[in-house]
Amino acid sequence: MTVAAEFAATVLFEGENGKNMHACDVGCDHAKLSIYLVQSGICKRVLACDINDGPVEKAKKAVGTRKYMDKSLSEYIEVIKNDGLKNLDNMHFDRVFILGMGGELISDIISGAPESIKRSKNTGFVLQAMTSEYELRKYLSKNGYEIVNEKLVEDKSRVYSVMLCRYDGKIRKFKEYEYHLGKANVQNREPLFEAYLARKTRIFGKLFSQLVKANKDAEYEKNLLSDFGKIKNGKI
């Protein structure tokens, strides 16, 4: 299981006790997260889904050969082949985990979910994008999801942001640097934030140089890099 997934399993909203939840692990792959959720007592039931046959088979095998409280894990975890959250109408989850995919795919999965899931105010969405975090934050803010908090985790020398979100129907607008870095990350200033900011600064620094060299408009990148610099120096 990735460091991000292990961390994601344990994040809580204020007031939650983090026990006996019902979760959906979307894109479960080997079902390591689902297994961890049950074996650590966080979830009493998990629906583990994946769109591809290979992961579904791996997940079924992993679940079928392990136990929790003297019972097969298959009593707690159901593994199904499914495209995202589609066709799961009338199901309620305390948690939906969508981890380890691109931000655009995560947005598409939420957008394709039945209303009963995507507009549920009682469901916490725990999301972690490998790429396109900007697009994911933009999607969430435009579609009524509050990013309640973000936490940074390091996996194989790269820092990722785990987002804890909830639907409340309010449309939000943020500053461009907040879509790139996460408003909560800028506020929280966790120790990993320095490396997270440095990576984004490198990416946009390179892009800026390429655009300038090609005589193309680089105003957006220039302003963004200026804001990144202010954040680094504690002026934002």
| Spatial contact of 206 and 234, defined as CB atoms under 8 Å apart | no
Could you say which of 24, 26, 42, 162 contacts ligand SAM (CB under 6 A)? 26
| Owner of token pair 């007031």 | 15
DSSP code of residue 73: G
As measured in angstroms, the least distance from the Cβ of 113 to ligand SAM is 11
CB of 22 to ligand SAM, least distance (A): 18
- Residue 7 is classified by DSSP as H
Distances (CA, A) of 1 to 29, 73, 84: 10, 17, 20
Question: CA nearest 50: which of 92, 98, 119?
Answer: 98
Please report, as residue ranges, which positions from 37 to 56 form the binding site for ligand SAM (by CB under 6 A). Answer: 49-52, 55
Unique residue bearing structure tokens 């943020």: 174
Among 45, 84, 149, 204, binds ligand SAM (CB under 6 A): 84
> Cβ of residue 110: shortest distance to ligand SAM, in angstroms?
11
Binding mask 106-145 toward ligand SAM (x if CB under 6 A, else -) reads ---x------------------------------------
Question: How many angstroms separate the CA atoms of 11 and 164, rounded?
Answer: 7
Q: Is residue 231 a contact partner of residue 193, using CB atoms and an 8 Å limit?
A: no
Residue among 174, 95, 176, 102 at smallest CA distance from 136:
102
Instruction: Check residue 80 for interaction with ligand SAM (CB under 6 A).
Output: no
91 binds ligand SAM (CB under 6 A): no
Number of residues that bind ligand SAM (CB under 6 A): 17
Contact positions vs ligand SAM (CB under 6 A): 2, 5, 26-27, 29, 49-52, 55, 83-84, 99-101, 105, 109
